[in-house]
Structure formats: structure tokens, C-alpha cells
A and B are shown apart, each in its own frame.
Chain A
Amino acid sequence: EAQVTQNPRYLITVTGKKLTVTCSQNMNHEYMSWYRQDPGLGLRQIYYSMNVEVTDKGDVPEGYKVSRKEKRNFPLILESPSPNQTSLYFCASSSRTRGDTQYFGPGTRLTVL
């Protein structure tokens, strides 16, 4: 089954404790993206990657890092999480031929205390 998976689905942590949210897709997609969703603000793009070893900032990249060492994986790293990063995070992927038709993972709800 074609899908985007994220782990963990839920995470409660404390300020300053480094964490990684993993994202994996099995569709051989070139494009992968991370979004955060906050009430009233819709989805805002954090980082995206157009292929292996190629990453670019989205609209809200501050406080986040990403890496794209393999085509299928695109982890989101919070080196020193802060409470304003409490949010619902989505990973998405798409093919190069239809780079904008993105398929989303189930989401990771992160709470930073």
C-alpha cells in the first residue's frame, strides 16, 4: 500500500530536549515536505526537499533542521524545542512529474512543555 508514515504519532517533551520525528514514503517520490498546522493558520511549510541531498527552507524554518540522505526518508529535527513549537506536524511526498500533488502522512502531535 502506497503511504507516508510518521513516527511518533504523539510526543510530549520538555524545552531544550532534542527530538527527531521520522518520515518515510514507499512511493519512490522525489519531493518530500514538512508542515506544521496550527489553529486558524492552516498548514505552513517548514522545509522541503526536491531530491536526495537537496533541501530548501519553507515559510517557517526557524528552529528546525532536516536531512535527506535517502530518497524514502526525510526526518525533522528539533535541536532545542521550545513551547512555540507545540503543533501538529505533517510530512508529505510527491513525484517529480506532479511535484505539487502531495500526499500526506497521518501527522505527529507534538507538545513542548
Chain B
Amino acid sequence: GQQLNQSPQSMFIQEGEDVSMNCTSSSIFNTWLWYKQDPGEGPVLLIALYKAGELTSNGRLTAQFGITRKDSFLNISASIPSDVGIYFCAGSSNTGKLIFGQGTTLQVKP
């Protein structure tokens, strides 16, 4: 089946640093989504991207839908301790079926 490759698998950074993570796919998607999961919680939607080339921001978060429709990245600027968690990308072809990446675990050192 379809697979998403998300990297890096984990990151350990200093507070205040910028973070970048990305996802690539062998298939084209019509929608890219980025979620964050805190321990013991369900994933929470951060950013949704619906058009190739789209660049969208949500506070300190910025995500882009790659023009090939096979990739997306998420940047977090000026990281803070509450950014800690697992970040997931997800892609869809508007069928109701979502494919998730393996996740990027982010740790922030105060």
C-alpha cells in the first residue's frame, strides 16, 4: 500500500532553535496534514494543506505542500518546551483514507 517516509525520526534540540521535518511519498496526494500528539492524547491537527505549492502558517509553525504533490515539510521557529511531542504528517487523496508517516519525536531542552 501507500507509504509515507517521515524524517527525522527524532530530534533533540535547544529551546529557541528552529526545527524542520519532512515527509515524502511515492504517490501523489491531494491533501497534506500535520498533526501533533502529546503523551496520552489523540493527535491534534496543526495545519492542513489543500493545494500544491501552498505555504501556510499557524503561529510559529509553517508548512508547505510540495509542488510535485509527493512531499511536505513542517517548520517550527523559536522552539519552546511545550513543543515537545510527536509530529505526524498525513496524506490523502480525498477518499476518506488517510496515510500517516511514522512520526517525528521532538524533545526540547530548556
Contact = CB atoms under 8 A, between A and B. Distances in A.
A99 B94 CA distance: 6
The A interface, classified by DSSP as helix, strand, loop or mixed, is strand
Given A106-B42, A107-B41, A43 B88 contact: yes
Looking at A4, A100, A106, the one whose CB has the most chain B CB atoms below 10 A away is: A100
Contacts of B96: 31, 33, 48-50, 56, 94, 99-100
Contacts of B110: none
A42 B97 contact: no
Given A42-B101, A100-B48, A107 B42 contact: yes
A74 interface: no
A86 interface: no
Contacts of B90: 43, 100
Nearest to A41: B102
Given A99-B95, A107-B40, 18 more contacts: A31-B96, A35-B100, A41-B102, A42-B6, A42-B88, A42-B103, A43-B88, A43-B90, A43-B98, A49-B96, A90-B43, A98-B48, A100-B48, A100-B92, A100-B94, A105-B42, A106-B41, A107-B42
